[in-house]
Chain A
Amino acid sequence: MSLLEVEGLDARYGDFQALFGVNLSVEESVTESIIGANGAGKSTLLKTIAGVLPPSAGDIRFDGKSLVGLPPNARLALGVSLVPEGRRIFPSLSVDENLIIGAHSGRKGPWTKERIYEAFPLLQPLAKRSGARLSGGEQQALAIGRALMSNPRLLLLDEVSLGLAPIVVKQVYAALPTIMEQGTTLLVVEQDVNQALAVATRFACLLEGRISLSGDAATANRDAVTDAYFGMSSVKKDH
């Protein structure tokens, strides 16, 4: 039984349907990347799993238990944690306090504030800094650290590279292996195909709300991925 099972998932924003019958299965301790263009539905998928958006059809099962109808804080208690798009750091709280509130649910596990500071050394000198005065990279590190404070079994990462300079993106992704070592299951949403395939074990491609391709990241055929990303049939290469 996979840790996360998504079955026939439909999601809408008012009249606009964003997801069409999405099926996804993620095993425990696996890192799965969801890739796709802007507007493909990647963030929508994470939001429905996290409980921010209710699905219009289908089921989401975590550890065999259906999540549908549970509010986000209840899902967090079960071990599903979302690092939201845009980071969403609390500006009224300091860096330290942002981390502390991440542990609000009281879930026990390997991650403590000290371990987070170790994993993200750039946050160490910023402990007392207000959340409103952080750079993009600092915010991203903090957002991930904050989510880890709840010791999740499933960590959902929504577009962590968005708006960040390439060198900062590398730093952020460099921290992921440490997280994976703990056995945490990761679901990473990324527009950057290379980064996504580099960090993941498995991948799935979303195109206009539907899964267009999935497989192992290591053996992924780049051409097939490009096609699935953009939705074009294979272009014959000129010799």
Chain B
Amino acid sequence: MAWVNAIVQGILLGGLYAVLATGLSVGFGVMRLTNLAHGDMAILAAFMAFSISTSFKISPLVALLVILPGAFVFGLLLQRFVFDRLIGGDPSLQIVATFGLSIVIQNGLKKKYTADTRGLNLGKLATRSIRITKGLTIGVLPLITFLCGVGVLVLLALFLSRTKMGRAFRATSDDPDTAQLMGVDKRRVYATATGITMLTVALAGVLYGAKSSFDPFIGPATLIFAFEAVIIGGLGSLWGTLAGGIALGVAQAIGLKINAGYGELAGHALFLGVLATRPRGMFGKLDNR
């Protein structure tokens, strides 16, 4: 039964990874751009939630509501001033520029908050749990996180399939030049995509901070989890991102159960195994160019 418990925890964790990974998926799918500072931006959001909730004595979830619109605007600015010059260009410049951002954010956070670990205090919510059967209890927070993961993907899927801008996203992802011929403004699409990505990043950051303690340098670890979830699930597939996140979460949970030091390694092992044997991932559609 303890194993079932572990696997369930892994599945719920997968929801968090799915939120983290969605931003990477959108960025790569629409713009062929990978932001190495993705994880650091999530942690930045966690620190902002920390500052806001401690200064104004409000719950971090309420702080999140304040952060979200700011995150969207941040995304628009990020696209306008940084990503716009990188899209369609030499990938090494993308890597270098976003890596540089990553280091700037990490060190900026360290300067402001010191290297101490922090946590987001959700009060009673953090400890509440639901008892499913004997031996199996689910924490309310992990459940909410998982539902957020599913929710984000459902919203994104609806957005892509039902809205005018969503269609423009898909067309731009297929063929940006022909999309322009249809009247689609590439730059507006990219800006919106980055804005949406930053929304998911902010949400992921706050959920992460609620679940575990964080420090200024933990961003890259979250980037790696997001990345592994995308690769395991397969590029180009939204539901693959959820499946990948869950697979990663479960692998880590199983690893943790075997030995307290093996959690991350088990996840890496799964990732490497997928790369070695089935590089397209579970539901992959795109080339990982």
Q: Do chains A and B touch in the complex (CB under 8 A)?
A: yes
Of A77, A90, A93, which one neighbours B183 at CB under 8 angstroms?
Answer: A77
Contact present for A146 and B182 (CB under 8 Å): yes
One of A97-105, A109-117, A193-201 at the interface? A97-105
Q: How many residues of B contact A (CB 8 A)?
A: 18
A101 touches B174 (CB 8 A): no
Choose from A82, A92, A100 the contact partner of B181 (Cβ within 8 Å).
Answer: A82
CB distance A71 to B183 under 8 Å?
A: no
Residue of A97, A104, A106 with most chain B CB atoms under a 10 A cut-off: A104
Q: Which residues does B use to contact A, with CB under 8 Å?
A: 164, 167-168, 170-171, 173-175, 177-186
Task: Say yes or no: A104-B177 contact (C-beta < 8 A), given A92-B170, A93-B171.
Answer: no
CA distance A90 to B185 in the complex (A): 16
The 5 closest A-B pairs by CB, nearest first: A105-B183, A88-B178, A104-B183, A76-B183, A72-B180
* A64-87 interface bits toward B, Cβ cutoff 8 Å, 1 = contact, 0 = none: 000000011100110001101000
Docked CA distance A93–B173 (Å): 11
- Interchain CB contact (< 8 A) of B174 among A81, A90, A106: A90
Identify A150's interface contact among B170, B173, B179, B183, CB under 8 A: B183
Contacts of B186 in A (CB 8 A): 73
Please, which residues of chain A bring their CB within 8 A of the CB of B173? Answer: 92
Q: Which of A84, A100, A105 contacts B178 (CB 8 A)?
A: A84
Which of B164, B170, B185 meets A73, CB within 8 Å? B185
Q: Quick check: A73 and B183 within 8 Å, CB to CB?
A: yes
Q: How far is the CA of A146 from the CA of B184 in the complex (A)?
A: 13
- Asked if A50 contacts B174 (CB within 8 A), the reply is no
A146 to B182, CA, bound (A): 8
Are A84 and B181 interface neighbours, CB within 8 A?
yes
Q: State whether B171 touches A102 (Cβ < 8 A).
A: no
A52 part of interface (Cβ distance < 8 Å): yes
A71 contacts across to B, CB distance below 8 A = 180
Known contacts A76-B182, A102-B182: does B177 contact A52 (CB below 8 Å)? Answer: yes
In the docked arrangement, what's the CA distance between A105 and B182, Å? 7
Partner among A81, A82, A101, A105 whose Cβ is within 8 Å of the Cβ of B171 = A101
